[in-house]
Amino acid sequence: MDQNKIKDFLESFRDKLFRTIVIIDFSNVDKWQESLGWKMGINELAHLIRYFSKGNKDLRRFYYGSDYGQKDSSNTLLSWSETVLTKAEFNHLNIVTKRVKYIHSDRLDGFQKKCDLDVEMTVDLIRLREEYDNIILFSGDGDLFYVLKYLREEFKKSSYVFSARNHIGKELMDGVKEGILEKIVYIDDFKYRLDADRFKYR
């Protein structure tokens, strides 16, 4: 998507700002940076979201695991996890979180982390359905297609998916072809916007 098309896309939400829910699966978003080769800050991401949603804070939702480390008894967030959640709160995002689990595995460090918030996203999308007409989903997770399909067929909700190239589930790609999703938008194309905001809002 070139810059003119991006401008048109953003402007198309001018009349939808108060009837759009934004769902940010930040653990998924965070993985995009490995292939993007550049960092997408929460401050810049939050500024981008303002083009899609205003008003009701409950419609700007940030899903991310709270990491307290390997000890189940710990009540102290790891510093990097605390920073992520603090930035999300500072940017007036509605945080949905639960504790990260450390599961023993055969990896060199002896464990793997798990904190799946797909169920929370699904429940919230259905629970809040009377408050929005449009969905902006920041996630390439194909598992979320099921709820987007349900909301389209039963309640005529329009869904737009943000992802990075090579991080998008086949179910979501097929969903566009089937007319279930309106559009897949690649964050790769928005680097110039995020960079501009990175310096503007320091």
In terms of Cα–Cα distance, which of 14, 186, 23, 21 is closest to 119? 23
pTM of the complete model beyond 0.75: yes
CATH number at residue 168: 3.40.50.1010
- Of 21-30, 67-76, 106-115, the range with the highest mean pLDDT is 21-30
pLDDT exceeds 70 at position 36: yes
172-192 per-position pLDDT tens digit? 999 999 999 999 999 988 887
- Is residue 124 classed as helix, strand or coil in its secondary structure? helix
**Mean per-residue pLDDT for 156-177?**
94
Domain boundaries, position 82: 3-200
Number of domain units in the chain? 1
The amino acid present at 151, given as its one-letter code, is L
Tokens of 81: 């996890």
Residue 93 near residue 60, CB atoms below 8 Å: yes
CA–CA dist 176, 182 (Å, integer): 6
